[in-house]
Amino acid sequence: MGILLFLTILLVAACGLIYELIAGTIASYLIGDSVFQFSTVIGTYLFAMGLGSALSRYLNKGLIQRFIWIELMLGVVGGFSSAVLMWAFAFTEGFQVVLYALVVVMGALVGLEIPLLMRIVKDRYSFRDVVAHVLTFDYLGALGASLLFPILLIPHLGLVRSALFFGLINAVVALWSSFLFAPQLMERKGLRAACLVVLCLLTVGIAKAKQITATAENNIYADEIIFSKDTHYQHIVLTRFKDDLRLFLNSHLQFSSRDEYRYHETLVHPGLAAIPLAKTVLVLGGGDGLAVREILKHPQVDKITLVDLDPEMTRLFSTQSLLTALNRGSLHSPRLQVINQDAFPWIDQNRDSFDFIVIDFPDPTNYALGKLYSTAFYRAVARHLSAQGFIVVQSTSPMFARDSFWCIAQTLREAGLQIFPYHVYVPSFGEWGFVLAGTHNYVPPKTIPAGLRFLTPEGIPLLFQFPPDMAPLPMPANQLNTQVLVRTYENDWKDISH
């Protein structure tokens, strides 16, 4: 009896600590700022435990029965706590409310356990021994749990199943308590039936844990995920909601099929249509084939070279039917050559010359990408430009990242080019900016390909006007040895997300 009793205490203590750790970990994962999350979760939890202990004085009769019910409640609440928190984050806006409510409920239930147990065993041992034994096993259980959590549970079971597993332990403790204390229990059948129900519930939960997390993650991307792949280079996610396809690379939105035409028409035609008899075009980045789709609208262009790092990206956009419908099979054009290589080394080694060069890289979110926005890179690109040619660079938002936009413009200027910055409104992005650059003056085109949905010859000159809130700022050029753009970009977005 003694050993089993203390094992019960040990297990109960372990469960209590695990729920606390799980709540803290999930809050840190989902919201970040782990110091804040852990501090407040632990604090609230301990406070609720105190509340539970205080409440224990109001429980007078049927202590064992009450203890078993508490175990069962804790098994359900704690066991499903992970799943509930993930769902709350994915489907509601009140994640924090749910988080602290759960922490208070679990803490209070855990706080009830030890006082009740002490009172249950108080007649068997002296007061001195009760306190010593109960607290010893309580702390031992906590130690075990705190070691198991990072070493075994998180890596092998994951958060959802760890919680369910410990819920199961609470339920088992409840069931065996009904045997352990059988002589003192009036009514056993009902209690044991309740235990079995809870056990079943948690077992089903464990079996379905995968689906629980999948549903929640599905919703964190807001829409149905139709493609998700970790390639050698990036994490590609494609989502669809009704007729809206969205592409995310490393969680950054690349386009929405509803308004990407605004972006890609504006990226390509103001520059390309202004070059008389442009024959050769180079696209750097842009593995989605959408810029190529626009370029193909210029019949005089007879050779397009697309350099994109990730073969998975160009494969996906040349095979997936929704995507080939979007880019009109541009990646299959006989006028196109696809090269899957890193852009900077490629541009360094290649000797061809191009009439129009489209640079459509992801925003400079890290030092690796920052290299592709440097004076060294633009100098290397400029060597490929024919005398009449232009370069166009996707240059992030002149509205949300105004410093970054003008930093990119200044970088092109420092690379020895004349610059002609412009911008467009893309609803899913907001105001978006581009910089045209070349070795001679730019005159907006009088004619552009027929059938465009957004651009008109009359509208093009207007794109080059910047209202005061996006007007030029004096910025340094971005160089490989300074990488000022990466820091500037980080600050720009930090400013608006606060």
Partner 1 sequence: MKIGRRKFLGKGSAALIGLSLKNEKKIAGSFVNEAAATGHLLRDRTPFPPASQAVKIPVVIVGGGISGLSAAWRLRKSGFTDFVLLEMNAEAGGNARSGQNEITSYPWAAHYVPVPGSRATYVRELFTDLGVLKDGRWEERYLVFAPQERLFLFGRWQDGIEPAVGLSQNDKEQFKRLEESFRKYHATGAFTIPVEEGLSQKSADLDQVSFADWLKTQGFDSRLLNWYMNYACRDDYGALARDTSAWAGIHYFSAREAEELGPITWPEGNGWITKRLLERVGQNIRTDQMVHKIFSSPRGVRVFANDTEYRAEFVIFSAPTFLAPYIVEDFAPLKNFTYSPWLTANLTLDRLPDSPGAEPSWDTVFLDSPTLGYVDAMHQSLRTHIDRTVWTFYWALAEGTPSQNRQLLLEKDWNYWKEAIFRDLERVHKDIRQCISRVDIMRMGHAMVRPSIGAIHSEERAALKRRKGRLLFANSDLSGISIFEEAQYQGVEAAQAVLTNLKGSR
Integer Cα distance of 239 and 245 in angstroms: 6
Verify binding: residue 344, partner 1, rule CB under 8 A: yes
* Sheet containing 280-285: order of strands: 336-339, 303-307, 280-285, 354-360, 385-394, 430-438, 418-426
Q: Tell me how many degrees the CA angle 271-275-277 measures, rounded to the nearest 5.
A: 140
Q: Which of these, 251, 250, 248, 242, lies nearest to 224 by C-alpha position?
A: 242
Q: How far is the CB of 415 from partner 1 (least distance, A)?
A: 10
The residue (of 275 and 477) whose beta carbon lies closer to partner 1 is 477
Verify binding: residue 351, partner 1, rule CB under 8 A: no
Q: For the chain, report the end-to-end CA distance as a whole number of angstroms.
A: 59
Residue 432's SS3 state is strand
The residue (of 203 and 483) whose beta carbon lies closer to partner 1 is 483
Q: Which positions from 105 to 144 touch partner 1 by CB under 8 A, shown as an x/- string?
A: ----------------------------------------
Q: How far is the CB of 134 from partner 1 (least distance, A)?
A: 23
Verify binding: residue 348, partner 1, rule CB under 8 A: yes
Question: Are 347 and 380 contacting, i.e. CB atoms less than 8 angstroms apart?
Answer: yes
Q: Which positions from 323 to 342 touch partner 1 by CB under 8 A, shown as an x/- string?
A: -------------------x
The residue (of 308 and 355) whose beta carbon lies closer to partner 1 is 308
Enumerate the β-bridge partners of residue 256: 246
Question: Are 356 and 442 contacting, i.e. CB atoms less than 8 angstroms apart?
Answer: no
Q: Which positions from 153 to 172 touch partner 1 by CB under 8 A, shown as an x/- string?
A: --x-----------------
Verify binding: residue 38, partner 1, rule CB under 8 A: no
Q: How far is the CB of 479 from partner 1 (least distance, A)?
A: 5
Q: Which of these, 392, 328, 366, 339, lies nearest to 249 by C-alpha position?
A: 366
Verify binding: residue 374, partner 1, rule CB under 8 A: yes
**Given 360, 363, 403, 492, which residue is catalytic?**
360
Verify binding: residue 343, partner 1, rule CB under 8 A: yes
Question: Are 302 and 335 contacting, i.e. CB atoms less than 8 angstroms apart?
Answer: yes
Verify binding: residue 480, partner 1, rule CB under 8 A: yes
Q: How far is the CB of 2 from partner 1 (least distance, A)?
A: 17
List binders of partner 1 among 229-258 (CB under 8 A): 232-233
The values of phi and psi at residue 178, to 5°, are -70, -20
Size of the site for partner 1 (CB under 8 A): 29
Q: Of residues 187, 367, 467, 471, which one binds partner 1 by CB under 8 A?
A: 367
The residue (of 37 and 374) whose beta carbon lies closer to partner 1 is 374
Q: How far is the CB of 468 from partner 1 (least distance, A)?
A: 32
Would you call 360 a catalytic residue per the annotation?
Answer: yes
Q: How far is the CB of 308 from partner 1 (least distance, A)?
A: 11
DSSP strand pairing (430-438 vs 385-394) = antiparallel
List binders of partner 1 among 375-404 (CB under 8 A): 375-377, 379
For residue 373, the Cα-to-chain-centroid distance in whole angstroms is 25
Sign of CA dihedral 489, 493, 494, 495: positive
Identify each DSSP E strand in 362-475 by its residue range: 385-394, 418-426, 430-438
Question: Are 436 and 442 contacting, i.e. CB atoms less than 8 angstroms apart?
Answer: yes
User: Would you please indicate which residues are annotated as catalytic (active-site) residues?
Assistant: 360
Q: Which residues bind partner 1 (CB under 8 A)?
A: 151-152, 155, 232-233, 309, 342-345, 348, 366-372, 374-377, 379, 479-483, 486
